[in-house]
Amino acid sequence: MSLAVSYNARYLITRKATTLLTLSGIALVVLVYVATLMLAEGLRQTLAGTGSVENAIVLQNGAQSEIQSGVTRAATNIILAEAEVARRPNNEPISSTDCVVVVSLKKSVDHKPTHATIRGISKHGLEIRPAVKIVSGRLFQPGSKEVIVGKAIHKRLTNAQIGSYIKLAGTEWPVIGVFDAGPTGFSSEIWGDVNVLMSSFKRDQFSSITFRLKDRADFAAMKRRLEKDPRLKVELKRENEFYESQSQGLADFIKLLGTVISVIFSLGAIIGALITMYSAVLQRTREIGILRALGFRAGSIFCAFSAECLLMALAGGVLGVTAAVLLSFVTINTVNFQTFAEISFAFRITPRIALQGLMFSLIMGFLGGALPAWRAAKVKIVEAIRTL
Amino acid sequence: MTEASTLNHPISKAIINIEKLSKSYQRGEELVQVLDNLSLTVKEGEFTALMGPSGSGKTTLLNLIAGIDKAGSGYLEVAGSILNELNESELTKWRARHVGFVFQFYNLLPVLSALENVALPLSLLPMSRRERYERARFALDIVGLGERANHFPAQLSGGQEQRVAIARAVVTDPTIIIADEPTGDLDRRSASEIMVLMQRLNQELKKTIVMVTHDQAAAGYAGRILHLDKGRLLD
Amino acid sequence: MQEILRLAIRNCLRHRLRTMLTILGITVAMAGFVFIRTFIEAWYAGVKTTAKNRLVVRNAVSLIFPLPISYFNTITQVAGVEKAGYGNWFGGIYKDEQYSSFQQFAINSSYLDLYPELIINPLERLAWESNRQGALIGRQMAAEYGFKVGDIIQLKGTIFPGLWEFEVQGIFAAKSADYDTRLMFLHWDYLNERNRTEINRQPDHVGFYMVKVQDGFSPAEVAKAIDERFANSYAETLTESETVFVQGFISMLATIITALNIISIVVILIMLLVMTNTMLMSMRERYVEYAIMKSLGFEARHLYALLLSEALLISLSGFGLLSVIMAIAFSLPPQALLGDLAKFFPNITLTPFTVGAAFCAALVVAAISGSLPAYHITKLRVTEALRYIA
């Protein structure tokens, strides 16, 4: 009778609902997990890309970041005279003596203040960072108050567009260019002439010195020598390693937070899977009995139910990863509490992360399905058939 | 047999009045007529059995009388109420007051004891807990299961479960008792125990019973047997 | 109704494993919720201990630039300034830690007078004032590291490089539990002395001035007055209330906090999914029983109450279990639970708001997950259900 048919239809829908619910739970958890990994990866890419392995950077020893560091002119001269420093044909060192300062500027979206990084670079400061390109306008005139603004922030700050003026140290500095340093920390900075900046901010020490090494391999020996020199009181790092370590605090924080949350969530998802699978086993006890009576071994029953749960989990995983990919369109702006600087980074997905997400879903599927599958395998034929 | 019962109860009023009752439903392209202009009268105190092949409409008729289904057209008056005029909520209240059910299986709630199952319908009526359980115990005694009051359905045999179901059906003192294949799931011995009980309820407690059954032997206990086919009564 | 409640309880006990798993699921999800909310609240707790009538005076150009010590006298003479102090953020590292969980400030003596909410033993303070290399440490910090009066704390300077040794002269506490007492006070004079002779990192400069506004004066106006004094000078100042200043720091992670808020909602969703899953399964299994009850005269509202009771029993049990776990968790020191994360927080306390929110979540989840299957039930046709053969 059609009444019975419609009832069965409703019954099926309920079963689909259960599967969908459990699947969605797993998808959500995978989404959160993958999002965390993507965030950390985006952060890492941004800061690792900042800096090259060809360059070395010098800071005051013990300084945790460029803004805490001060290197005297005397020390600078000694260092730049060293043999390992690469030179131009005219014997000038390929280097940049930088002065880094953090100031408060207003955001364009709500006019609330945020911290921005100002970097004074020397004559060859752009050359030493070949990844940095001027994309509109031009480079500042040495000796002038002109500044160029990084692509990631030129829209985020008020008065940071070409033709506007940024207020620094009490005076107006014209913005005459925008540069793109790729997904690196530099893209969130404002660059100007180091000498002009230092005099305006009344500083007499550089924050850092970056120079090109003649040969990458020279680094270790040079580091040992310079760090021991009592006149200098400096420490040497490879440029890329240095900038990567700058995000260590923030990256660790995000990863730790994300991991804790993911673990808690995954417990929830596993429990959801357990509930679903146990009920499935209960419902199909008779079915299982018949299969066993037909000759299927307990092992195959176990595999069948495990596989069902794994499949459901995998489907959830795929859904979660797909949703996570959509996140790649989101950019995060936050302040790195280690450097005080605002950094902009995006959620970045890599094949490895996608795979990790799927593995995670499979683990949840396995954990959620193993016990119920084992119970299914243990079903005694006689009792099962008797069950109505 | 019908004559005999009317002789014993000279002034019996009709408790069920059915005139030209029809019900149909759509099955894909087809219009299936379950009940076709059926007319029937059941007097108070009668024990009626409805028989017929599958699809004859007997269960549908039963459901309509019991107020758990609605007719397409026709006149249906049970225990003084015209059922078609009642809405869902009124129908539910009417059922609680006037109908006692005995189904083929799954009658009892597995998480309640026999006594609690019998007392269940009484929770809808305003009376103290003590009273409820007293009445429930009384009903259980009538069906002979007084000592099993605290057993759960899982601990009872099929026949015993049905007896508890019958106790529950009478505990509210309903106007009519509706039984849908009450012996369908039982072995021969339990089946006859149940039918003897039903007959006692009818003859001693004067309960009006309408029963659907496939079982010839069960039907034999009834005062009157009606046959249906293709939605019509066969005389 | 008593009967309905009894039925609900018995129904829950029918599939003990499933019920327990569901309760566990709810508990886990709520734990996640509480964790996130507590984290967010701890982060904002810093603002609670600030005072609107305390002003922070710093270099207008950049937070990392100092101000000359000579400004001190001028500031104390501005109308509305009751008292002033100064300090530098020291930023040292203890042993091999990557970042120390306690903050160190090199201050002058009057700085302490600006913080009446700190309970400092006068004898200990006297001892500190007579020892240039003395340090006053907060109670939480002392507890965490096991420092006692008389211990020597060795710090590696970062902004002020070199090895620094300080002797603990006293341990102070705070009146309010919100206050982060992972704090260490050193002498500015000692720092400046070494800075002048060895380090030469802008000696005779302070990182900030702290000002207490006199009663009856508007903090905003006093702030403006101070800044006007130093306008167009060598180092212009920016003065703002302590509350605004701290908020500036807190808002550094605003984006992440927003993300966490979103995640806490996701947690509720997960709770809902788990509960609804269970309730749907239960409903499906008991379809016939509901039909029987309906045939007995139970109405839709009775059945709804039944389902809702079951859902509430489960979710409130989850809440109960959570309460037990939270009670244990919050009586332990933060290290035990959070490990490294503990460094990032001032205080971890479970606020009534969070508990209330978790409770409300439990109720809402029960209501929704109970309503969905209940809707099916109200539509239930007894005749159909009776045809159902499991």
d(CA C205, CA C83): 19
Q: Residue A380 pLDDT > 90, yes or no?
A: no
Q: Beta-carbon neighbour count of residue C379 at 10 Å? A: 10
Report the residue from C17, C161, C340 with minimal CB separation from A256: C340
Q: What residues contact residue A211 under an 8 Å CB cut-off, 6+ apart? A: A55, A56, A58, A79, A80, A85, A86, A93, A94, A95, A96, A128
- Cα gap A140→A192, rounded to integer Å: 7
Whether residue B62 is contained in a domain is answered as: yes
Question: Looking at chain A, which runs of residues are DSSP E strands?
Answer: 55-60, 95-106, 113-121, 133-137, 147-150, 165-168, 171-180, 189-193, 208-212, 234-238, 331-335, 342-346
Contact partners for chain C, using 3 or more CB pairs closer than 8 A, are: A, B
Find the domain containing B148 and state its range.
Answer: 44-68+93-230
Could you give the number of structural domains in chain B? Answer: 1
**pLDDT below 50 — which residues of chain B?**
1-7, 9
Beta carbons of A140 and A192 less than 8 angstroms apart: yes
pLDDT-above-70 percentage for chain C: 92
**What pLDDT, on the 0 to 100 scale, is given for residue B10?**
52
Residues of A in contact with C17 (CB under 8 A): 278
Whether A7 sits inside 8 A of C384 (CB atoms) is yes
pLDDT on residue A7? 40
Give contacts of C32 with chain A, Cβ < 8 Å.
261, 264-265, 268
Q: Does B121 touch chain C (CB under 8 A)?
A: yes
A174 pLDDT above the threshold of 80: yes
CA distance linking residue A329 with residue B46, whole number of Å:
78
Q: Where are the beta strands (DSSP E) in A61-170?
A: 95-106, 113-121, 133-137, 147-150, 165-168
- Residue B209: inside a domain: yes
CA distance C233 to B166: 101
pLDDT > 90 fraction of chain A, expressed in percent and rounded? 17
In this predicted structure, what is the pLDDT of residue C6? 86
Degrees to nearest 5, angle at CA A56 with A52 and A57: 105
d(CA B146, CA B139): 9
* B76 part of a folded domain: no
Length of chain C: 390
CA atoms of C72 and C91, how far apart (whole Å): 23
Cβ A267 vs Cβ C21: under 8 Å? no
Q: Of the segments A13-22, A353-362, C228-237, which one has the largest average pLDDT value?
A: A353-362
Is residue C390's pLDDT more than 50? no
Instruction: Tell me how close the Cα of C19 comes to any Cα of chain B, in angstroms.
Output: 15
Q: How far is A356 from chain C (nearest CA, A)?
A: 20
Please work out, in degrees rounded to the nearest 5, the angle formed at the alpha carbon of residue B92 by the alpha carbons of B88 and B95: 135
Q: Cα–Cα distance between C1 and B123 in angstroms, integer?
A: 9
Residues A297-318: pLDDT tens digits? 788 888 888 888 888 889 999 9
Q: What is the DSSP secondary structure assignment for residue C214, as one 8-state letter?
A: P
Sequence-distant (≥ 6) Cβ neighbours of residue A119 within 8 angstroms: A98, A99, A100, A101, A186, A189, A190, A191, A192
- Predicted complex ipTM: 0.74
Q: What is the Cβ-side half-sphere exposure of residue C378, based on CA atoms within 13 angstroms?
A: 13
| pLDDT 10s digits, A50-92 | 778 889 999 988 777 888 788 888 889 988 888 888 888 888 8
Q: Mind listing the pLDDT tens digit for each residue in A249-282?
A: 777 778 788 888 888 888 888 888 888 888 888 8
The first and second tokens of residue A164, run together, are 């506007």
DSSP B131-186: HHHHHHHHHHHHTT-GGGTT--GGGS-HHHHHHHHHHHHHHT--SEEEEESTTTTS
Residue A11 confidence (pLDDT): 45
- State the pLDDT at residue B1: 44
Residue B74 domain-assigned (yes or no): no
- CA–CA min distance C309, chain B (Å): 16
Q: Are C318 and C30 in contact (CB under 8 A)?
A: yes
**Domain contains B192:** yes
Nearest CA in chain C to A117: C62
The pLDDT value recorded for residue A230 is: 83
Name which residue leads in pLDDT, A148 or C3.
A148
Return the number of CB contacts < 8 Å for B and C: 60
How many Å apart are CA A26 and CA A313, to the nearest integer? 6
pLDDT at C335: 56
Would you tell me which residues 117-146 of chain C have a C-beta closer than 8 angstroms to some C-beta of chain A?
none
Per-residue confidence band for C347, with pLDDT thresholds at 50, 70 and 90 = low
Closest CA to A163 of A150, A178, A151: A178
The side-by-side arrangement of strands in the sheet containing B99-102 is B99-102, B176-180, B208-212, B47-51, B224-229, B232-234
Q: How many CB atoms lie within 10 A of CB C310?
A: 28
Phi, psi of A133 (to 5 degrees): -130, 140
What average pLDDT does range C296-319 have in this prediction?
Answer: 88
Closest CA to A19 of A265, A322, A314: A314
Task: Give the residue from chain B lying closest to C299, CA to CA.
Answer: B92
C77 lies within 8 A of chain A by CB: no
Average pLDDT over residues A189-200: 91
Nearest residue of C to residue A66 by CA position? C159
Amino acid B235: pLDDT: 67
Q: Please, which residues have CB within 8 angstroms of residue A343's CB and are 6 or more apart in sequence?
A: A43, A46, A47, A185, A188, A247, A333, A334, A335, A336
Mutate to test the interface with A, among C28, C93, C160, C194 (most CBs of A within 10 A): C28
Q: What is the CATH number of the domain that holds B218?
A: 3.40.50.300
Q: Say whether B93 and C2 touch across the interface (CB within 8 A).
A: no
CB contact under 8 A, B101 and C292: yes
CA distance A103 to A131: 25
- Let me know if A295 is exposed, middle or buried by CB neighbors in 10 A (0-12, 13-18, 19+): exposed
What does the pLDDT read at residue C346? 54
CB C186 within 8 A of CB C166: yes
Task: Note the pLDDT of residue A5.
Answer: 40
Helix count and strand count (H, E) for chain B: 8, 10
Q: Which two tokens stand for residue A299?
A: 């092992």
**Which amino acid belongs to residue B149?**
A
- In chain C, what residues touch B63 (CB-CB under 8 Å)? 382-383
* pLDDT classification of A128: cutoffs 50, 70, 90: confident
The Cβ-side half-sphere exposure at A256, using a 13 Å CA radius, reads: 15
Could you tell me which of B50, B102, B65 has the C-alpha nearest to residue B211? B50
Q: Is C155 helix (H, G, I), strand (E, B) or coil?
A: strand
Chain C residue with CA closest to B105: the answer is C386
Within a domain: B116: yes
**Reported confidence tier of residue A178, pLDDT bands at 50, 70, 90:** very high
Work out the burial of residue A186: count CB atoms within 10 Å of its CB; fewer than 13 is exposed, 13-18 middle, 19 or more buried: buried
